[in-house]
Structure 1
Amino acid sequence: MKTVTLKIDDSIDEKFLWLLEHFSSNEIKILEQSEYINDDDYLRSIDGMVQSINEARNEPTAKGVKLEGLDHLLTHKY
């Protein structure tokens, strides 16, 4: 089974949900329904996220990893 996230305009919301109701629960399951929020608002809603981002911004670039080093980090298990 695949999971798909859709952003549905309010003008067709009822029609779209009506359509989904015509499938069996074995074919389609609605896992979650929520109002759309943009990425920035979503990140700000997570406790401590803004503080974490601000702390990361203040880290010296010397502590960062160069692009060439990312492959090494991603391909070796620790």
Structure 2
Amino acid sequence: MKTLTLKIDDSVSDKFIWLLQHFSENEVSVVDSEDYLSDDDYLRGFQGMVESIKKAKSEPADKGVTLSQLDW
């Protein structure tokens, strides 16, 4: 299942939620309906995320992997 973050204008939010309610919870569910957060604020909300990024940035480049080695 994919997770999307949407920014929905207040003038259509009621209609959008109404539409989502016509799907079963197995098809679509609202996981968070708080006010908009920037991507940076969202990621900083995960425990250990900042430390993980700092640690990764300090690793030497020769310890990294190429794009072709990533399992997307």
TM-score category by the smaller chain?
0.5 to 0.7
Aligned to 2:29: 31
User: Identity of paired residues, percent?
Assistant: 51
Distance change in 2, residues 1:14/1:54 (3 Å): same
TM-score (norm 1): 0.58
TM-score (norm 2): 0.62
Q: Cα RMSD over matched residues?
A: 2.8
- Any residues of structure 2 matched to 1:1-78 within 5 Å, and which? 5=4, 6-20=6-20, 23=22, 28-29=23-24, 30-32=28-30, 33-35=32-34, 36-65=36-65, 67=66, 70-72=67-69, 74=71
Q: Whose radius of gyration is greater, 1 or 2?
A: 1
* Structure 2: gaps spanning 5 or more residues: none
Residue-pair matches, total? 65
* Structure 1: gaps spanning 5 or more residues: none
Runs of 4+ in 1 over 4 A off after TM superposition: none
Bigger relative contact order, structure 1 or 2 (CA pairs below 8 A, ≥6 apart):
2
Deviation at 1:20, TM superposition (A): 4.8
